[in-house]
């Protein structure tokens, strides 16, 4: 997966510290700040599933309220 494809797959979450790693030909790992968040089969990983896991991680571990922009900076 190219850098542009990685950013596209993560959407706005790419700007919030999420990255993707390919430890082998069959696995895709979602990381936040270098910490493993989720592991997917490359065949089953979709843009929606990646972004869902990003949002879930931010809500559960960082108290995120679901807003993709900072409040007051529309």
**pLDDT for residue 66:** 75
CA-based nearest residue to 21, from 1, 49, 48, 46: 1
**pLDDT for residue 71:** 57
> How many whole angstroms separate alpha carbon 45 and alpha carbon 22?
12
For 3-21, what is the mean pLDDT? 83
**pLDDT for residue 9:** 86
8 A C-beta contact, residue 23 and residue 29? yes
> How many whole angstroms separate alpha carbon 63 and alpha carbon 74?
20
Question: The pTM is what?
Answer: 0.79
* Per-domain residue ranges of the chain: 3-62
> How many whole angstroms separate alpha carbon 40 and alpha carbon 5?
16
């Amino acid at each position: 997966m190219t850098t542009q494809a990685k950013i596209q797959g993560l959407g706005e979450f790419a700007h919030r510290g999420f990255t993707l790693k390919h430890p082998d030909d069959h696995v895709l790992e979602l990381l936040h700040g270098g910490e493993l968040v989720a592991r997917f089969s490359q065949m089953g990983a979709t843009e929606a599933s990646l972004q869902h896991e990003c949002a879930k991680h931010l809500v559960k571990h960082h108290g995120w309220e679901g807003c993709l922009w900072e409040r007051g900076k529309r």
